[in-house]
């Protein structure tokens, strides 16, 4: 698949809440990078990325909203703006905006990095 095709599929899956399908676009040796100092700052390998996503999902009590923007594709990279508004099981509510930057190689997502204001995590 081309970078554009992967970007379009990822966005469609995320908008439909089909996150397992979205992760099927990742390479087995993919790398996920969070902001410095955040939990799971660098996660290597699809199995560990999926475990991190599972832990994130299990920490959420209620989802109030969110959005997934249109992808911007340049070469073998694409960026997508995303928002999420959730209440965690500890009662804290977070409304976050982020830009997600993906790198594609051999028809799969090889690397993703998330960029957001870490003060939204407090």
How confident is the model at residue 40, as a pLDDT?
A: 86
pLDDT reported for residue 118: 85
Chain segment 27-85, per-residue pLDDT in tens: 999 999 999 988 889 999 999 999 999 998 999 999 999 999 999 999 999 999 999 99
50 φ, ψ (degrees, to nearest 5): -65, -40
Rg (CA), the chain: 14
Report the relative pairing of strands 77-88 and 93-105 from DSSP bridges.
Answer: antiparallel
pLDDT score recorded for residue 122: 53
Tell which residue, 25, 3, 2, 18, has the closest CA to residue 72: 3
What domains can you pick out in the chain, each with its CATH number? 3-121 (3.10.450.50)
């Amino acid at each position: 698949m081309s970078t554009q095709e992967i970007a379009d599929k990822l966005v469609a899956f995320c908008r439909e809440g089909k996150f397992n399908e979205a992760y099927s676009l990742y390479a087995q040796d993919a790398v996920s990078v969070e902001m410095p100092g955040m939990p799971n700052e660098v996660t290597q390998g699809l199995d560990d990325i999926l475990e991190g996503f599972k832990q994130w999902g299990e920490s959420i009590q209620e989802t109030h909203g969110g959005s997934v923007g249109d992808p911007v594709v340049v070469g073998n990279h694409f960026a997508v703006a995303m928002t999420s508004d959730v209440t965690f099981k500890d009662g804290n509510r977070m409304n976050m905006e982020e830009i997600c930057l993906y790198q594609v190689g051999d028809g799969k997502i090889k690397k993703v990095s998330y960029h957001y204001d870490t003060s939204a995590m407090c």
